[in-house]
Structure 1
Amino acid sequence: MPTYSAPVKEMNFILNDVLNVSQYAGEMPGYDEASPDLIAAILEEGAKFCENELAPLNLSGDHEGCTRHEDGSVTTPKGFKEAYNQFAAGGWCGLTDPVEFGGQGLPHVIGMALEEMISSSNMAFGMYPGLSGGAKAAINIDGTNEQKATYLPKMVTGEWTGTMNLTESHCGTDLGLLRTKAEPNDDGSFAITGQKIFISAGEHDMAENIIHLVLARTPGGPEGVKGISLYIVPKYIVNEDGSLGDRNGVVCGSIEEKMGIHGNSTCVLNYDNATGYLLGDENQGLRTMFIMMNAARIGVGIQGLALSEVSYQNAVTYANDRLQMRSIAGPKNPDGPADPIIVHPDVRRMLLNSRSFNESARSIALWCALLVDMSHKAPDEKQREWADDMVGLMTPVLKGVFTDRGYENASNNQQVYGGHGYISEWGMEQFVRDARITQIYEGTNGIQALDLVGRKLGANGGRAIQRFFKYVATEIEDAKGNEKVADFVSAVESANADLQRAAMWLMQNAMTKPDNAGAGSTAFMHLFGHVVLGLMWMKIAKISADKLDSGTDDPTFFENKLIVGRYYINRRMPEIKFLLAELEAGAEDVMALDAANF
């Protein structure tokens, strides 16, 4: 049975040393309370819950799955409901939510750390409270005061959960094809009729009410995405006094039979004249839904990291225990019948590919969470604008690169087990199956790459990407202060130059031939990912070298940072040259073959 140990020490290092979140006390709401001691205490308690309550349910939840009953109700796997009750009672649902609605108002960056722990320990479970976060954000930003008062307090406590309903059987990415209808009622509400598929946590037994946010089309509205509105459709109608009333006209028609995340009820939801309430402006539903989608995309990126981390931890344990063959450099375990497989270079390659990604990716994820806070809470408008530009660039990178790498790493960590990795009792094949969906939902990774190249790169005259290049250059100059990390500086400097070259090539060659952007977008996204991962390794390396120079009571921790970081810049970042060549090859070869000849 697989195990999980939350990387609390790593998280504290990033929050306190790499990001220095304490510097924002007095500048941004919530950061005054977020002292290093409080952060450490929260992370420790979160780790205990994830390790002791959620992780033991992961394998059994996968085997049992969810059960739909004849009345459309759904029962979650054994232990999930009790664990959720503990989760809600512990205040974890409202950790970062506004105080005025019953939340604790702590920084988003702390919530992101908890989100990784939850997804590593039990990704399927984490999707029940996880999707509520985006729904709460959408209601808080675009809801009326009455809607906020009606729904947010119960969602903050976890008594109610939330979902997002976009996809229909005939339309996924192309939401302009959406058919679900919203007919106006005399009382100002709407009658919602249609069917939605792939709805995560769409029906379950863990909360009293489920607040669905549903995209639908009002008759007579504009064609395409311009005619889509967003509606709040509760499972149970909420009475004026806040009590629950009649069951609404929404029912789970079936649970999708999926490759992974079996512990989460992914539902087909049928809406039959269900009562819905307009959220935000009419015909502006996609704009409001993107509040949820952007939050969800970052969350899915964290799932990629989380599965890379937990699969790595278990593969390391196995590699140290499993005795097979002798080291090609000579016996390392002369008293035993064979050496542990961790002595073999190729096993180490697979493990270090994961670890060198995990430690830098975690820094990026927490930095992005800090940027989200800054984009909403920073006192200076220019600072908020800069942070928002960075979040816009980083969102498709987190979603696309983190999940591609997460799946790759989970698969390689399964490979460390050999044949045992293919057997379900070891848990490794579940990590691979669970990781696969992260590359697909909340916008496939191909869509993330197109979003980065087609929308984010040229937005506001290329303002965001130019600001990113300037930020990298500033960090490079800062890192030059310690000659012991000169190799990191050189690697990032070269990578940043290649990224600028790639961006320029796209700007020059995609306007007249848009297929050049489509053909090169995934290469560009991964090239960008290498730059950001290398940038964070450079920052970590400088901090580690400075700590070692000034004296530390934990030299091994910082020495290992330098070792793992050098592995990344020496063995992974050279992939940038291949990606650049792929991008600059253009679209001609990609588009040459006639569709009939595939």
Structure 2
Amino acid sequence: MAEYQAPLRDIRFVLNETFAADQLWQSLPGLNGAIDADTAEAMLEEAAKITSQTIAPLNRNGDEEGAVWNNGEVTTPAGFKQAYATYAEGGWVGLAGNPEFGGLGMPKTLGVQVEEMIYGANSSFALYIALTAGSTLALDAHGSEELKQKYLPNMYAGTWAGTMCLTEPHAGTDLGIIRTKAVPEADGSYAVTGTKIFITGGEHDLTENIIHLVLAKLPDAPAGPKGISLFLVPKFLVNEDGSLGERNTLSCGSIEHKMGIKGSATCVMNFDGAKGYLIGELNKGLNAMFTMMNYERLSIGIQGIGCAEASYQTAVAYARERIQSRAPTGAVQPDKAADPIMVHPDVRRMLLTMKAMTEGSRAFSTYVGMQLDISKFADDEQIKKKGEDLVALLTPVAKAFFTDVGFESCVHGQQVLGGHGYIREWGQEQLVRDVRIAQIYEGTNGIQALDLMGRKTVANGGAFFKVFADEIEAFISENDAAEMGEFIEPLQAALENLKELTAQVIDNSKANPNEIGAASVEYLHTFGYTAYAYMWARMAKAALTAEQGADGFYQGKLATARFYFKRLLPRIHSLSASVRAGSDVLFELESAQF
């Protein structure tokens, strides 16, 4: 079994050669010169070291031992607590946090690389970090100065953890029907009562305190999502001097027994008049939570990339060593009983699919990270608006497409190993189980597709889509040289197809609202493959203009780009045909006929 190693060579290529991230960082006034190429390189090296050497070795044990619940207390798997302390001591929990309260203030473009490393090393461990990072983001954006001063420094330091508490037994996607109540108290706090389920890291032994961000409604709140407020509810109350006081009236009723991510505690949380503090404005809690959700959805998408990379590393190592049968063209290793399975076309098909999709995902996650940085740190309003529009459009694509193709890649990785892929000791079956959840939580991928098709495309007449399409068209017009033709021509055709598809769904939905939901999943995938074609064209350009080294990296990058355009991008044709088929066929059956 290959041991996970952070893919630093490809990360450097994407950051430095494909997107010139250092130039972007220097152009954003809001970053205040906090990072340059040398700083980024040092941080990537250190992140690679801690994820590969400290966190990855705990992955299998974390799966086998799992988180354990006992009388309201949760114990994480052996080694997690020590590894978390090491990670926190390096300042990694507050990597992108506000420097005013102890965060490192690093850009998301760098953050997505670190997130991929930690998910690739150990998804269960990564989730404790991800939820804290997300909750601090919401608190920093919407909390009062008093709350930020009181809670953010310890959360960035990793001394305290964070969660987000949305889902209830009867309310998942439809948060407007939540029942958790918040009753105003005389001291300005609120008494929060209700049950939340599927709460990642709701209880654990990694930190001194856990800060829950809880969606609840006041007794007289408006019905539906317009009546939701957001509250900070600490496990332990915090005294005026910053020390921990008495335990709040909340508890972990149980943890879920899951298919995967078993080292991550997925909790049922009971709030029994727990003391909470309002974050932001009353009845505007969903807006505040979505500040966190956009980043979290990208983060969960990156879980798909990390797991796919880990699976690929094991599959490639196995394919180079495992000997079975002879190559179709004749013996490659005549001195041995058989040839490595790497010689077989179908094994290469699976490995190249994994490589092309994972490297395309890495480039796209970096691109989305850039838009988040632009929308946050730019001072030019026009540039900032473009970044915001692209973030809105691309976040559901990133979450859903990264995880859909990440799951596909992990299944390919398992298949490459044959029977050994089904055996626990090789790690591939765990990756298949671990990555499967990423298609479900933080908004199922079907919901992401509906968000892209409905709210982000149809609702604004394709305005956000036009921003992205215009950028791709500008790239095409700037790179219509003969050497780029093999990449530019299929990219242009794919973009034209997506433009036509977008216009058709917008037009058809005017007469039939079912067209939006009927088209959404296939549309998102068509969008994803087209976006990856743009990423691969940009990577191909960088590889073509680079000084070719002896390691064959750039030649390999170009060969993978050709595979993507010739063997994977054509998937858009069947997907597009499904979209064009419309919604009528979905509604021919009566409910009783299913």
Output the TM-score relative to the length of structure 1. 0.98
Letter matched to residue 395 of structure 2: T
Establish whether residue 560 from structure 1 lines up as the match of residue 561 from structure 2. Answer: no
Alignment match, 1:307: 307
Aligned to 2:455: 455
Q: Which residue of 2 aligns with 1:92?
A: 92
Q: Cα deviation per residue 1:290-346 (whole Å; 9 max; x = unaligned)?
A: 111111100011001111111011000011111111112211111111111111100
Amino acid at match of 2:44: L
Alignment map for 1:218-233 (pairs within 5 Å): 218-233=218-233
Q: CA deviation at 1:4?
A: 0.5
Aligned to 1:274: 274
**How many Å apart are 1:462 and its aligned residue?**
2.8
Alpha-carbon distance between aligned partners in 2 of 1:382 and 1:26, rounded to the nearest angstrom: 14
Match of 1:256 in 2: 256
SS in 2 for 1:196: strand
Task: Judge conservation of contact 1:163–1:200 (CA < 8 Å) in 2.
Answer: yes
Give the deviation of 1:184 after TM superposition. 1.3
Could you tell which deviates more after superposition, 456-465 or 6-15? 456-465
**1:571 alignment counterpart:** 567
Unaligned runs of 5+ in 1: none
Q: Structure 2: how far apart are the matches of 1:73 and 1:248?
A: 14
Does the alignment pair 1:65 with 2:61?
no
Does the CA-based 8 Å contact 1:62-1:262 persist in structure 2? yes
Q: Which runs of 5+ in 2 are unaligned?
A: none
> Hey, what's the Cα distance between the residues in 2 that align with 1:490 and 1:462?
24
Identity among equivalent pairs (%): 47
Q: Which amino acid aligns with 1:501?
A: E
Distance 1:360 1:396 in 2: 16
- Amino acid aligned to 2:568: R
Cα 1:374–1:217 change in 2 (3 A) is same
RMSD: 1.1
Counterpart CA distance in 2 for 1:251 and 1:146 is: 26
Shift of 1:411: 0.7
Post-superposition offset of 1:459 = 4.8
2:354 corresponds to: 354
Q: CA deviation at 1:31?
A: 6.6
Match of 1:537 in 2: 536
CA contact (8 A) 1:26 1:32 kept: no
Number of the residue aligned with 2:521: 522
Opposite residue 597 of structure 1, the aligned amino acid is Q
Matches within 5 A, 1:21-170: 21-24=21-24, 25-30=26-31, 32-70=33-71, 72-170=72-170
What does residue 483 of structure 2 align with?
Answer: 484
Q: Deviations over 1:408-434 (max 9, x none)?
A: 110111011111111111110000000
Distance 1:111 1:39 in 2: 10
The one-letter code sitting in structure 1 at the alignment partner of 2:502 is: A
Q: Hey, what's the Cα distance between the residues in 2 that align with 1:272 and 1:278? A: 17
Tell me the equivalent position of 1:327. Answer: 327
Alignment of 1:180-259 (within 5 A): 180-259=180-259
Aligned-residue offset at 1:80: 0.1
Give the secondary-structure state (helix, strand or coil) at the position aligned to 1:441: coil
8 Å contact 2:143–2:280 — kept in the other structure? Answer: yes
Q: CA deviation at 1:106?
A: 1.8
Residue type at the aligned position of 2:82: E
Task: Say whether the 8 Å CA contact 2:31–2:377 is kept in structure 1.
Answer: no
Please say if residues 230 and 286 of structure 1, whose CA atoms lie closer than 8 Å, have aligned partners that are also in contact.
Answer: yes
Please point out which of 579, 586, 595 is paired with 2:582: 586
Give runs of aligned pairs for residues 393-412 of structure 1, distance below 5 A: 393-412=393-412
2:293, 2:442 within 8 Å by CA — same for their partners in 1? yes
Q: Distance in 2 between matches of 1:343 and 1:134?
A: 45
Distance 2:423 2:446 in 1: 31
Residues 125-180 of structure 1, C-alpha deviations (whole Å, 9 max, x = no match): 01111111111111111111101101111111111110000101111001112111
Deviation at 1:97, TM superposition (A): 1.3
1:75-133 CA-partner distances (Å, limit 9, x unpaired)? 10000000000000111112221211111222221111100000000010011111111
* Aligned pairs for 1:391-430 within 5 A: 391-430=391-430
The answer on whether the counterparts of 2:40 and 2:110 sit within 8 Å (CA) in structure 1 is yes
Mapped partners of 2:510, 2:431: distance in 1: 41
Report the CA distance between 1:460 and its aligned residue.
4.3
**1:513: which partner in 2?**
512
Counterpart AA for 2:484 = V
Moved more, 510-519 or 311-320: 510-519
Q: Which amino acid aligns with 1:506?
A: V
Runs of 4+ in 1 over 4 A off after TM superposition: none
Deviation per residue, 1:217-249 (Å, 9 max, x gap)? 110111111111111000001111111111011
Counterpart of 1:572, as a letter, is L
The reply to whether residue 440 of structure 1 matches residue 440 of structure 2 is yes
- For the residue of structure 1 that corresponds to 2:462, the secondary structure is helix
Aligned partners of 1:450 and 1:247: how far apart in 2? 41
- How big is the shift at 1:35? 2.2
Counterpart contact for 2:490–2:565, Cα < 8 Å: yes
* Structure 2 CA distance for aligned equivalents of residues 86 and 323 of structure 1: 41
Counterparts of 1:177 and 1:115, CA distance in 2: 33
The residue number in structure 2 matching 1:374 is: 374
TM norm structure 2: 0.98
Q: For the residues of structure 1 that align with 2:32 and 2:17, how far apart are their CA atoms?
A: 16
SS in 2 for 1:273: strand
C-alpha distance in 1, partners of 2:420/2:460? 52
1:597 Cα deviation from its structure 2 partner = 0.8
- 2:30 and 2:379 in contact (8 A); partners too: no
| CA-CA distance at 1:30 after TM superposition | 3.1
Cα displacement (A) at 1:26: 4.7
- The 3-state SS of whatever aligns with 2:464 is helix
Q: How many equivalent pairs are there?
A: 593
Paired with 1:23 and 1:412, the residues of 2 have a C-alpha distance of 37
1:32, CA displacement in angstroms? 2.6
Distance between the aligned counterparts of 1:494 and 1:146, measured in 2?
54
Distance in 1 between residues matched to 2:96 and 2:517, nearest whole Å? 38
Aligned to 1:175: 175
- On the 8 A contact 1:479/1:539 being kept in 2, the answer is no
